[in-house]
């Protein structure tokens, strides 16, 4: 890997700032100041420091985004803004993608990474990573909903869903719903089958990681190592 690319990605600066730091001899590889921005380094074995402080190499990045309404979960879209456009330059890297999708009008937790293997594991139907949603409904819920969702509902005639857990809240029009899978428009279609309609949807948890309440819509932060351990 080129040293300027490494510094830019791992130190969280733009490529041109990384080059400027190299020019000012602020970057060292194994204790020797780097002279050229295109020097090749081995991130796993070389010791790289910026202004005397060693940078530990992180191969992959894991981001929690609080997706706002109106943004699409895609890497590219001709018409709408995408979740990737909300990632600040300091942590943006090539290869990032949203692991799992929310509808354009759904808000909340989107997991963004460049670690394809982990995303694949997390999204595999067998892994059953829990996803929890806060659902606001057009009509008040009824007691029977709990059993209906727990029994493994069939939607759109023949699509069988895994048992889901419904948790009532003080507001009769708001429930929490825990799913172990991610079918297309699943929450909306389940609620439609129950005779209701979703008017607002927000994902608030993925596996053991809760959406950070400090993140305003559109904001993101890196997921900590401790959080990653409880993802599934």
Tell me if residue 103 is catalytic: yes
Residues 168-207 that bind ligand URA (CB under 6 A): 185-188, 201
Interface size with ligand URA, residues (CB under 6 A)? 8
Binding map of ligand URA across residues 102-121, x = CB under 6 A, - = no contact? xx--x---------------
Strand ranges for the chain from DSSP E: 27-29, 32-33, 48-50, 53-54, 62-67, 97-98, 107-113, 131-137, 154-155, 159-160, 165-168, 174-179, 198-206, 209-210, 220-222
Residue labelled with tokens 């190592």:
225
In the complex, the smallest distance separating the C-beta of residue 41 from ligand URA, rounded to whole angstroms, is: 41
Min separation Cβ 92 and ligand URA, Å: 24
Least Å from the CB of residue 76 to ligand URA: 19
Structure tokens, 82 = 């995408």
Calculate the alpha carbon distances from 229 to 123, 208, 209, 225, 226 in Å: 16, 8, 9, 6, 5
Do 62 and 110 meet the contact criterion of CB atoms below 8 Å apart? no
Least distance to ligand URA from the beta carbon of 100, Å?
Answer: 9
Q: Which is nearer to ligand URA, 96 or 187 (CB)?
A: 187
Identity of the residue, 41 or 187, whose beta carbon is nearer to ligand URA in the bound complex: 187
Residues that bind ligand URA (CB under 6 A): 102-103, 106, 185-188, 201
What amino acid positions are annotated as catalytic residues?
A: 103
């Amino acid at each position: 890997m080129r040293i300027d690319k490494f510094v830019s990605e791992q130190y969280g600066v733009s490529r041109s700032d990384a080059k400027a730091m190299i020019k000012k001899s602020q970057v060292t590889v194994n204790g020797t100041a780097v002279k050229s921005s295109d020097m090749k380094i081995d991130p796993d074995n070389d010791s790289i420091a910026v202004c005397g402080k060693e940078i530990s190499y992180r191969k992959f990045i894991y981001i929690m985004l609080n997706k706002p309404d109106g943004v699409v979960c895609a890497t590219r879209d001709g018409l709408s803004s995408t979740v990737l456009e909300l990632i600040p330059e300091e942590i943006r890297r090539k290869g990032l993608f949203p692991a799992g999708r929310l509808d354009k009008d759904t808000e909340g937790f989107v997991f963004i990474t460049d670690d394809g293997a982990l995303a694949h594991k997390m999204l595999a139907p067998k892994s059953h990573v829990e996803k929890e949603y806060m659902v606001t409904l057009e009509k008040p819920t009824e007691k029977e909903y709990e059993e209906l969702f727990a029994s493994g509902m069939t939607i759109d005639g023949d699509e069988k869903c895994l048992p889901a857990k419904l948790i009532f809240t003080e507001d009769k029009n708001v429930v929490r719903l825990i799913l172990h899978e991610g079918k297309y428009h699943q929450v909306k279609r389940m609620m439609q089958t129950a005779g209701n309609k979703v008017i607002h949807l927000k994902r608030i948890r993925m596996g053991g990681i809760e959406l950070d309440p400090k993140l305003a819509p559109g904001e993101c932060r890196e997921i900590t190592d401790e959080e990653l351990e409880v993802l599934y």
